[in-house]
Amino acid sequence: MSEEKGTGYQPKPSLKDRLGLTKETLIHIGMAVIIAVIIGAVIASQTGVSQSAYNEEQAQQAQSIATQGSEIASNDGDISDLREDFGTINEQYGGVANTVALHTGSINSTTARVGTLEGEVTDIQTELAAVCSPPEAYLTGTVGNYTIHAEASETGNYTASVHLVYSKAFSFNGTYEEAQQYFYTGINWTTGTPYYQTIVSFNGSHWGLAEVWWNIGTFTLTADTEKGIAVLFGGLADTPSFAYVEIYPALK
């Protein structure tokens, strides 16, 4: 049988023979393939880990985005509430502004009226300034030697009366006429006395002299100029408690 193979059968050449490779070269190629497989496996392993981490990171970002979306929605709600509050405040402010405007109008109207009144008061003051004021007078000095200080806003003739008052009236057990007579009897007529007029009062049990007075006659005053007028008198039996003067315009 071996002879038949030798005569009619030709065996196939091996890969090594066809590629013309030596045994050492084949070993190197095999080792390179094995290393390539190992590197591929490592890369595949690392790629799988990176994908997992990437997926986890994507999930975290998705969660963060969802959380931010929730916060944005909440903020939108707050903003909506604030808008409503601002709307309410704006309405209230509008009401207050209207009220303030009304009060401002009232104040302006009142101010105008006050201005008118001020003008009227000024006019009245001007008119009063043109009206003559009453004459004035007062006394200085001691009993028996008084001085009348008189002044008036208009030049003219005036007259004055001097009053002597007795806080404790002269007592007299009698009638009204007897009380007057009692006073006049006590006067010393030699010392230059005026024409004393008496005022007699009654205290429930008897009459007494309460006051005497006399008119000094007329005198002339220059407008807004004080004038001193000497008043001499005497003959009184008792010293009065106090004195005062009255002054009036006089026709002459």
**Residue-range domain boundaries for the chain:** 10-131, 136-249
Mean of all residue pLDDT scores within the chain: 79
Query: CA-CA distances (angstroms) from residue 67 to 60, 76, 80?
Result: 10, 14, 20
Top pLDDT among 70 and 218 is at: 218
Q: State the DSSP string of 88-153.
A: HHHHHHHHHHHHHHHHHHHHHHHHHHHHHHHHHHHHHHHHHHHSPPPPEEEEEEETTEEEEEEE-S
Of the pLDDT bands very low, low, confident and very high (cuts 50, 70, 90), residue 156 is: very high
Average pLDDT over residues 28-33: 68
Average pLDDT over residues 215-234: 96
Say if residue 122's pLDDT is above 60. Answer: yes
Say if residue 66's pLDDT is above 50. Answer: yes
Lowest-confidence pick of 58-72, 100-114, 158-172: 58-72
- Region label for 168, one of left (φ > 0), alpha (ψ between -120 and 50) or beta (otherwise): beta
Say if residue 71's pLDDT is above 80. Answer: no
**Looking at the chain, how many residues does it have?**
252
Note the pLDDT of residue 1. 46
pTM reported for the whole predicted model: 0.50
Of the pLDDT bands very low, low, confident and very high (cuts 50, 70, 90), residue 205 is: confident
Distance CA 88, CA 86 (A): 5
Of the pLDDT bands very low, low, confident and very high (cuts 50, 70, 90), residue 248 is: very high
Distance CA 208, CA 205 (A): 10
Average pLDDT over residues 225-244: 94
Distance CA 45, CA 40 (A): 8
Of the pLDDT bands very low, low, confident and very high (cuts 50, 70, 90), residue 159 is: very high
Q: Of 150-159, 171-180, 232-241, which has the strongest mean pLDDT?
A: 150-159
Say if residue 55's pLDDT is above 50. Answer: yes
SS3 call for 193 = coil
Q: Of 148, 130, 153, whose CA–CA distance to 221 is shortest?
A: 153
Of the pLDDT bands very low, low, confident and very high (cuts 50, 70, 90), residue 14 is: low
Note the pLDDT of residue 148. 98
Say if residue 237's pLDDT is above 70. Answer: yes
Residue 202's φ and ψ, nearest 5 degrees, are: -125, 130
Note the pLDDT of residue 3. 46
